[in-house]
């Protein structure tokens, strides 16, 4: 096997060190994390939009025949899918996999944060800003008032948690609900592609039902129960943060229940047609 030249190895290590310093001194530097992460989130949205457009142009038979606004929505859903995969995975890690918010650690968990947890929230803020901007710019083509309310409340709550470091655990609990977004987008893609009567559409509908039940109904109940158990800590938060912990999840929970009712009706309708 050919030996790698020593000069090449040293060059690679040099680049690795430079990348490490870049991440440490700029990307994850405490004072800059909120701003670099928001900008990173916005740039990631732009990249996801362009990649969705590029890939769909070459590999999708449906995409070329869409109207201009349908293409915009197609690409926009690519953005939301990428964000959903990223933030739901990170949320699951912080809520269930990390010990950052463990009761076993000293200190109040409502005030705990880390550079990574703050960075993740910043990326999400960048997404909400980008998506809300597109929704308002093309209103109501990409979504009605319910989407404006959802993104506005979510963006404010996530931004507050990011900048102050308060209630990041509960913010990530709510963001786990983004796990349902890819399935919702797949449903739209299948419908747009004329595959509404396909088996894939039916299976995806069942997955939406289960994911929504777990991530947007039961998990919200768990979050409120967790807040109840740690109320002595929650009450020590800033008044605005305290209001957000109760207000935003409550509004989102009501919206989730309304949407869940529509999902149930849709599943029943599809299943009844297949009998």
pLDDT tens per residue across span 163-176: 999 999 999 999 99
pLDDT number for residue 17: 61
Mean pLDDT of the chain: 90
Position 271 confidence tier, pLDDT thresholds 50, 70, 90? confident
Q: What percent of the chain has pLDDT over 90?
A: 80
In tens, the pLDDT along 211-248 reads 999 999 999 999 999 999 999 999 999 999 999 999 99
HSE (side-chain half, CA atoms, 13 Å) at 46: 7
Burial of 14 (0-12, 13-18, 19+ CB in 10 A): exposed
Task: Judge whether 95 and 170 are in contact, CB under 8 Å.
Answer: no
Q: CA-CA distance, 253 to 249, in Å (whole number)? A: 6
As a whole number of angstroms, the distance between CA 108 and CA 236 comes to: 9
Is the Cβ–Cβ distance between 122 and 164 less than 8 Å? no
Give the confidence band of 272 by pLDDT, cuts at 50, 70, 90: confident
Q: Is the pLDDT of residue 82 over 70?
A: yes
Plot region of 229 (φ>0 → left; ψ -120 to 50 → alpha; else → beta): alpha
Tokens standing for residue 235: 């009450």
What per-residue string of b and e applies to 215-246 under the rule 16 or more CB within 10 Å gives b? bbeebbeebbebbeebeeebeebeeebbebbe
Going by C-alpha positions, the residue among 132, 172, 149 that lies closest to residue 258 is 149
**Spatial contact of 100 and 172, defined as CB atoms under 8 Å apart:** no
Q: What is the pLDDT of residues 37-75, one digit of tens each?
A: 999 999 999 999 999 999 999 999 999 999 999 999 999
Asked if residue 12 has pLDDT above 70, the reply is no
């Amino acid at each position: 096997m050919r030996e790698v030249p020593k000069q090449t190895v040293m060059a690679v290590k040099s680049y690795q060190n430079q990348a490490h310093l870049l991440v440490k001194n700029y990307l994850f530097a405490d004072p800059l994390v909120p701003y670099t992460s928001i900008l990173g989130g916005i740039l990631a949205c732009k990249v996801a939009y362009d990649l969705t457009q590029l890939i769909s142009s070459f590999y999708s038979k449906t995409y070329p025949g869409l109207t201009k606004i349908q293409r915009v929505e197609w690409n926009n859903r690519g953005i939301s899918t990428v964000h959903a995969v990223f933030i739901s995975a990170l949320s699951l890690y912080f809520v269930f996999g990390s010990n950052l918010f463990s009761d076993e650690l000293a200190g109040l968990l409502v005030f705990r944060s880390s550079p990574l947890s703050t960075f993740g929230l910043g990326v999400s803020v960048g997404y909400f800003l980008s998506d809300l901007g597109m929704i308002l710019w093309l209103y109501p083509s990409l979504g009605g008032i319910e989407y404006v309310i959802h993104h506005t409340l979510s963006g404010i709550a996530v931004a507050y948690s990011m900048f102050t470091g308060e209630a990041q655990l509960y913010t990530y609990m709510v963001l786990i609900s983004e796990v349902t977004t890819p399935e919702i987008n797949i449903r739209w893609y299948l419908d747009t592609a004329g595959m509404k009567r396909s088996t894939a559409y039916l299976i995806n509908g069942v997955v939406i039902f289960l994911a929504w039940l777990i991530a947007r109904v039961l998990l919200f109940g768990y979050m409120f129960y967790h807040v109840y158990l740690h109320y002595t800590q929650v009450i020590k938060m800033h008044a605005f943060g305290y209001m957000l912990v109760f207000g935003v999840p409550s509004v989102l929970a009501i919206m989730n229940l309304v949407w869940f009712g529509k999902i149930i009706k849709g599943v029943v309708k599809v299943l009844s047609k297949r009998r």
